[in-house]
């Protein structure tokens, strides 16, 4: 008997689905995805498994904080919420998050915890590029 949302038989292409590989780019492993990898102290950040096939089981993807502070809303799943610590003096001990699939490391990402977060460009260089130099060095 099938439950709601499940089928009695697996799809025909099920044997070709590798949940450690990206669905649309099978030559690449799944990665940690996020809108940005910076969050203010006490802020929240949504992390997800980029490239995961919809048929892959959520419980196969394990998240963990290896270094730094904060906490994750879940240890398993295709999507988790990272909550930064309330204080992060001088941007010390930024968080390192790892994503595993069936015990194998797929990706890791540093999350910067900073009070200054902006969508603006931090540095922009313009000028004609010739022979490996910017002649006027306009910045």
**Confidence band for 83, pLDDT divided at 50, 70 and 90:** very high
Q: Using CA atoms, how far apart are residues 1 and 6, in angstroms rounded to an integer? A: 10
pLDDT digits (tens, 9 = 90+) for 22-33: 878 888 889 999
User: What pLDDT is recorded for position 38?
Assistant: 86
**Confidence band for 86, pLDDT divided at 50, 70 and 90:** confident
Task: Return mean pLDDT, the chain.
Answer: 79
Q: CA quadruple 93, 66, 110, 71: dihedral positive or negative?
A: negative
Tell whether the model's pLDDT for residue 12 goes beyond 70.
no
Q: Using CA atoms, how far apart are residues 37 and 110, in angstroms rounded to an integer? A: 7
The backbone torsions φ and ψ at residue 62, rounded to the nearest 5 degrees and listed phi first, read: -115, 135
Length of the chain as a residue count? 139
pLDDT digits (tens, 9 = 90+) for 31-79: 999 988 888 888 999 999 999 988 888 899 999 999 988 999 999 999 9
The residues, any chain, with a CB within 8 Å of residue 124's CB and separated by 6 or more, are 139
Q: Domains plus CATH for the chain?
A: 30-113 (2.60.40.10)
């Amino acid at each position: 008997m099938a439950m709601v949302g499940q089928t009695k038989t697996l799809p025909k292409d099920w044997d070709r689905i590798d949940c450690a590989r990206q669905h649309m780019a099978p030559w690449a492993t799944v990665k940690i995805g996020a809108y940005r990898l910076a969050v203010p102290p006490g802020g929240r950040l949504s992390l997800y498994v980029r490239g995961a096939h919809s048929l892959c089981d959520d419980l196969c993807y394990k998240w963990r904080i290896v270094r730094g502070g904060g906490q994750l809303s879940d240890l398993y799943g295709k999507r988790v919420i990272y909550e930064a610590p309330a204080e992060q003096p001088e941007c010390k001990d930024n968080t390192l998050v790892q994503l595993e699939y069936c015990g194998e490391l797929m990706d890791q990402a540093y999350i910067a915890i900073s009070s200054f977060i902006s969508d603006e460009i931090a540095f922009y260089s313009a000028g004609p590029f010739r022979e490996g130099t910017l002649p006027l060095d306009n910045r």
